[in-house]
Chains A and B, each alone.
Chain A
Amino acid sequence: MGGPREHPAWLRGIYAGVFLYLFLCAINVMGAGLKMMAKAPDTSQWMESLFGFADNPFVALMAAVLVTSIVQSSSFTTSMIITMAAAGTLDVQAAIFAVMGANIGTSVTGIIVSLANIRIRRQFRRAFTAALVHDIFNLLSVAVLFPIEWMFSPLYRTASLIAHGLGLETEGKPTSPIKVITKPVVNAFESAAELLFSNPSWVGLAIAIGGLGLLFTSLVMMVTNLKGALLSRLEALFRSVFFRNDLIAGTVGMITTVLVQSSSVTTSLIVPLAGAGAVKLRRVFPFMLGANIGTTVTGVIAAAAVVDDGSTGVNEKGIAVTVAASHVLFNIAGIGIWYPLRAIPLGLASWYGRLAARSKRYAVLFLLLVFIVIPSIGLLITELLRSSPPLP
C-alpha cells in the first residue's frame, strides 16, 4: 500500500524550471497566433469587433473576474491579458481594467477554501473573515481606482512612463535571448498548425489556442512543482513569529507568493490557518497585501517574455511592460489607500464574517452578489453610460 510517489525537491525544482521555459514559450506562441489572426483578412474584422467589445472597461474588468475565478489563477489571466495587449488584440487601457478584474477573481479561491471549515462555527467565522479580508480589499481598491483610472488614467500614464524609462520604446532585436530560446517551440506550433490548416486565420487560431493551452498547463505545472519543492521550507514561514507585525506578515505573503508563483496557493494556505486560530485576522490583512504584490511578478515575467518582432507596427514590449507595471502600481496604490484605512476592510470583513457564521446563506449570497449581481448591474450601467463619455 503506497501513496503517490513523492519527487525529491531538487527534481521538482528542475521540473519547475522546464515549465518556466514552456511558460515563456507559451507567451510567444499565443502572441504569434493572435498576431497572425489579426493580420488575416477574414478574421481581422471579427477580432476587432470581439475585442472592441472588451475595450469597455467594465466588460474587461468582469471578463477577467470570471476567467480568473474559473481557472483560479490570476497569474494565468494576467499573463493572457499582457500577451493579448502586446499582440495588439486588446486595448492597453482595457488591459489595465482587466488586470484589476484578475485581482478580484483570484480572491474567490479563499472564499471557497473557507467553506471547508463550515463544521465548526467559530472556525468558519475566522476562516471566512480571513478570506473576506482579501476580497474586500480588492473590491474596495477597484471601487476607488476603477473610476479614477477611467477618468484620468493615472495607472496607465505612470506605467507608460516606467516602460518609457526602461527604454522599451525601441523594437526588439532578432538576437533577443528570449526570442532565441523560445523560437523552436513557436516554430513547432506554427508548423503543426500549418500541417492541419491552410487558411491563415485558422492557422493563427490554432496557434493561439495551442499557446493558451500551453500557458495554462505550464503555469499549473510550474506552480505545482514549485509548491512541491518549497512547501516543506515554506511551512516555517507560517510560524507565529512571522505574524508578530504587519511588515513581516506582508513580507511573508509576498515571498511565499513569489516563490510558488500563485497568490491563490498562498491565500488558500492562510485561510485555514486563520480558521484554526494559528494566525490572527489583523495579520492576515498585510499577508494578503503582500501576496497581491507577489503575484504581480508573474505578469512581469510574462512581459519580459514578450518578443517584439516589429510585425504589428506597435511597441509590443512597451505595451506588455506597461500592463505589467500597471498591475504592480494598482496593488501599490490599493495598499497606499487601504492600509492606513485598514479598519474599514477589517471591520467590513468581521461584520460580514459574523453574519455568515450565523447563517451560511450569507456566504453564498456574498459569492452571488460579488460575482453575478454586482457585475451584471455594473455592466448595465456601463453600457448605458458608454454612449456619452468616451474612453480617455
Chain B
Amino acid sequence: MFKQLFSALKSGEELDQAFSQFDEMLNHAQWMFLRANEVLQRKGDPDEIKESLYARDKSINELVRSIRRRIVRHLTIHGGDVAACLALMSVAKDAERIGDYCKNVFEVGQFYKDPFHVAKYHEPLEAARTRVEGLFDTVRRAFRESDGEQAKAALKAADAVGDTCDAVIEELLGDEASMETHEAVAYSLLARHYKRVSSHLSNVATAVMGKVEDLDFRP
C-alpha cells in the first residue's frame, strides 16, 4: 500500500495524465476507424475485428470517465487551468463520439455484404475516408504540440470532407437512376458517418485555438 501511495506522490499532475489519456482515446478511435474501413473494403474478417473493435470502444468510454474524474480532482484540489480543463472535458466527449461513429462504420461493413457499384458515390466517399485517416494524425499532432497552424490545416481538411459528404447526400436524394436500396442506404450512412467523424475531429482542432467560447466553432 505504501509503495502505491509513494508512487502516486511521485506521479505528477493529474491534468498532464488526463491529456495523455485523451491522446490515447484518439489513438483507439483512429485504430477503430482503420479497422472498420478494412471490413468495409473486405480486407478484414468482421467477426475477428468485432471483438477488439468493441473492446477499444469500451476503453474509450472508460478513458472519458477517467479524464472527467481527473478533471474534477484537479479543479477541486489545484483549482488552476480552468480553461484547459473545460476544453479537455469538451474534446473528450468528441473523441468518445468518434468511437461510436467508427462502430457505425463497422456495422455498415458488417451488414452490407455486396460490393459498391456506383463510382460517383463510391469514389468521393473513398476520398473522404482517406482524408479522415490523415485528419486523425493532423489533429493528434496539433493537439499534442498545441500547434495552431496544424489545427487550421485540420479544420480545412474537415471542411473538405464535410463538403464531399454533403454532395454525396445531395446527389443521392436527387438521383432518379435505378439503384439497389441497400446500396443507397450504405452510401448515405457512410457519408453521414464520415462527416460526423471529421466534424468531431475538427471540434478537437478548435480547442487548439485556445478560446473556450469558440470550442466547436470555426474561428
Q: Give bound CA distance, A77 to B77, whole Å.
A: 25
**A65 close to chain B: CB less than 8 A:** no
Residues of A227-257 whose CB lies within 8 A of B: 231-242, 247-248, 251-252, 255
Instruction: Tell me if B76 counts as interface (CB < 8 A to partner A).
Output: yes
Q: Which residue of B lies closest to A248 (CB)?
A: B1
Q: Are B1 and A247 in contact (CB under 8 A)?
A: yes
* A254 nearest CB across to chain B (Å): 11
| Residue A273, interface by CB 8 Å | yes
- Residues of A close to B4: CB separation below 8 A: 241-242, 248
The minimal Cβ–Cβ distance linking A260 to chain B, given in whole angstroms, is 11
Q: State whether B69 touches A235 (Cβ < 8 A).
A: no
CA–CA, A248 and B10, complex, Å: 17
Of B11-19, B53-61, B194-202, the stretch lying at the interface with chain A is: B11-19
Contacts of B12 in A (CB 8 A): 232-233, 236
Q: Are A231 and B73 in contact (CB under 8 A)?
A: no
Q: Which of B1, B5, B14 contacts A235 (CB 8 A)?
A: B14
Q: Report the bound CA distance from A237 to B12 in whole Å.
A: 10
B76 partner, pick from A232, A236, A247, A273, beta carbons under 8 A? A273
Asked whether, in the complex, the Cβ of A237 is within 8 Å of the Cβ of B72, the reply is no
A18 proximal to B (CB < 8 A) = no
Shortest B50–chain A CB gap in Å is: 30
Q: Which residues of B contact A240 (CB under 8 A)?
A: 69
User: Which chain B residue shows the least CB distance to A227?
Assistant: B77
Question: CA A269 – CA B5 in complex, angstroms?
Answer: 18
Residues of B within 8 A of A238 (CB): 73, 76-77
Separation of A85 and B190 alpha carbons in the complex (Å): 79
CB of B1 within 8 A of CB of A251, answer: yes
- Cβ-based interface call for A272 (8 A): yes
Given A255-B5, A269-B77, CB of A235 within 8 Å of CB of B72: no
Q: Are A269 and B1 in contact (CB under 8 A)?
A: no
Q: With an 8 A cutoff between CB atoms, is B8 at the interface?
A: yes
What is the CB-to-nearest-CB distance from A21 to chain B, in angstroms, rounded to a whole number?
Answer: 25
| Chain A residues within an 8 Å CB radius of B76 | 238, 269, 272-273, 276, 278
Return chain A residues, CB-CB under 8 Å to B78: 231-232, 235
Chain B residue nearest to A266 (CB atoms) is B77
User: How many residues on A have C-beta within 8 angstroms of the other chain's C-beta atoms?
Assistant: 23
Q: Which residue of B lies closest to A272 (CB)?
A: B76
Q: Which of B5, B10, B13 contacts A242 (CB 8 A)?
A: B5
B74 interface hit (Cβ, 8 Å): yes
Interface assignment of B173: CB less than 8 Å from any CB of chain A? no
Question: Quick check: is B179 within 8 A (CB to CB) of the other chain?
Answer: no
Cα A3 to Cα B82 in complex, Å, equals 12
Chain A hits for B72, CB < 8 A: 273, 276, 278
Is B77 touching A231 in the complex (CB atoms < 8 A)?
Answer: yes
Task: Report whether B69 and A237 are in contact in the complex, using a CB–CB cutoff of 8 Å.
Answer: no
Measured between beta carbons, the chain A residues less than 8 angstroms from B13 are 232, 235
CB <8 Å contact, B77 and A234: yes
Which chain A positions have C-beta within 8 A of B74? 235
A239 / chain B contacts, CB cutoff of 8 Å: 8, 69, 73
B177 interfacial contact with A, CB 8 Å: no
Cβ-closest chain A residue relative to B76: A272
Interface centre among B9, B11, B12 (most CB of A within 10 A): B9
Closest to B14 in A: A235
Q: A252: which of B5, B10, B14 is its contact (CB, 8 Å)? A: B5
Expressed in whole angstroms, the Cα–Cα distance for A232 and B11 within the complex equals 9
Bound state CA distance, A269 and B76, in angstroms? Answer: 6
A236 touches B1 (CB 8 A): no
A236 to B69, CA, bound (A): 11
Interface contact A278-B8, CB-CB below 8 Å: no
Residues of B within 8 A of A278 (CB): 69, 72-73, 76
Identity of the chain B residue whose Cβ is nearest the Cβ of A241 in the assembled complex: B4
- Cα separation A237 to B77 with both chains bound (whole Å): 11
Nearest CB to that of B2 among chain A residues?
A: A251
Could you tell me the distance between the alpha carbons of A233 and B73 in the complex, rounded to whole angstroms? 12
Q: List 21 A-B contacts (CB under 8 A).
A: A3-B80, A232-B12, A232-B13, A232-B78, A233-B10, A235-B13, A235-B77, A236-B8, A237-B9, A238-B77, A239-B8, A239-B69, A241-B4, A242-B8, A247-B1, A255-B5, A269-B77, A276-B72, A276-B76, A278-B73, A278-B76
The 6 closest A-B pairs by CB, nearest first: A236-B8, A235-B14, A276-B72, A272-B76, A236-B11, A232-B13
- Residues of A participating in the B interface, judged by any CB pair closer than 8 Å: 3, 231-242, 247-248, 251-252, 255, 269, 272-273, 276, 278
Query: A232-B13, A236-B12, A237-B9 known; 9 other A-B pairs, CB under 8 Å?
Result: A3-B80, A235-B73, A235-B78, A237-B5, A241-B4, A251-B1, A269-B77, A276-B72, A278-B76
